[in-house]
Amino acid sequence: MAALAAVGVLHAQESVAPVRLKDVAALQGPSTTPVIGYGLVVGLNKTGDRRQTVFSTQSLANMLERFGVMVPPGDVKVENVAAVLVTADIGPYSQQGSRLDVTVSSIGDARSLQGGTLLPTPLRGPDGAVMALGQGPLSIGGFGASGGENSVSVNHLTVGRVPRGATVQVARQTAIEPMETLRLTLHEPDFTSASHIASAINNELRTGVARVLDPGTVQVQVPGAYRSSVPDFIARLEPISVLMDAVARIVINERTGTVVLGGDVRLGPAAVAHGNLSVKIASDSEVSQPNALSKNGQTAVTQKVDIAVEEGRAQLVTLQSGTTLGEVVQALNALGVTPRDIISIVQALKAAGALRAEIVIL
């Protein structure tokens, strides 16, 4: 396990510890509102949209016109600008002035958003009304470099985030009215977890006011002393410690090459061998000159192509039934695999029926 942290090959999520009720459940009622907007990212190092992306140059010309600079869209030849879609979620109790994280995604042919800054972008709700305003420098989570016709990139460079990059512009009316019962919605529906939450609430209040309605809902009877001040009752429930259960799960993010194994992941008996197949094609130009005294000879250019196929040596590792998470991690590290290799191995183990876990691909 210590070796994993050093090389960054695999992340292991340990056993579940008690958590606060407010971290795993929320009051059933107003929902999150998704918002979206169209904007421009500027400050790129010649990695923005190129001439074939018409809408980015048109948007730039329209923006410059608002500042008194008249430039025909056809004359714009800027490669430091990229057209993007900006998305975010406004929480049910976010009020005017609240800050939100936003996701910025390229919609043109930009090669990278690295180092870019999002210009002020109105974010609209499902009804078309402006609900937030986003802007700020992007965080990509990768990097890229190029020179001439050569380039190298690490992770996904055309999607980024602006932490706390949007400001809510509207005041939301979400007052909690007096009520006799309230319902708590679990973020991750599960019968065992719902039962633990109901038991924890009943132990805290020393009465049977909570009961499970379904895997994702726990109903709580509001005591008479709190019916006129429901927010105070919710504040008393939120810090309660509960033990949550979870489905064995493996999360894969192919954009960043990240693999996270949950603490309950188990394997059936299996043998794993993983090798790499590389195909290299090299092409060189050769010039053939005629003899010095030749009258009809011509200089000819020919292509010399070399093709080489290499298969990496794979080491076979046996995994026993009921293998714990620590043993799985040690076995994969013994193979010397990379995160990309782990993604392939995990999917193959699932297909073989030897992996007892749900695979989630982000």
Instruction: Dump pLDDT digits (tens) for 320-350.
Output: 665 666 676 676 676 667 777 777 778 888 8
21 pLDDT band, cuts 50/70/90, is very high
The answer to the question of residue 298 being in a domain is no
Contacts of 214 (CB under 8 A, 6+ apart): 189, 194
Does the residue 288 lie in any domain? no
83 in a structural domain: yes
| Same domain, yes or no: 61 and 108 | yes
The verdict on 229 and 157 lying in the same domain is no
Number of domains within the chain: 3
Same domain, 98 and 205: no
Contacts 24+ apart (CB under 8 A), 6-9: 7/333, 9/332, 9/333, 9/337, 9/338, 9/339, 9/342
Task: Say whether both 216 and 255 belong to one domain.
Answer: no
Residue 282 resides in a domain: no
In a domain, 209, yes or no: yes
Rounded to the nearest integer, the mean pLDDT of the chain is 79
Q: Are residues 90 and 207 in the same domain?
A: no
Tell if the pTM clears 0.75, that is, is over it: no
Within a domain: 289: no
Amino acid at 114: Q
Tell me the C-alpha to C-alpha distance, in Å, between residue 230 and each of 28, 167, 175, 184: 13, 28, 10, 13
Query: Residues 114, 223: one domain?
Result: no
Same domain, 158 and 195: no
Residue 293 lies in a domain: no
What's the pLDDT score for residue 101? 93
| Predicted confidence (pLDDT) per residue in 291-317, tens digit | 666 666 677 666 665 656 555 565 566
Last-in-domain residue among 152, 168, 184: 168
Per the structure, the complete domain to which residue 347 belongs is given by: 2-12+248-275+314-361
Cβ-based neighbours of 344, under 8 Å, separated by 6 or more? 274
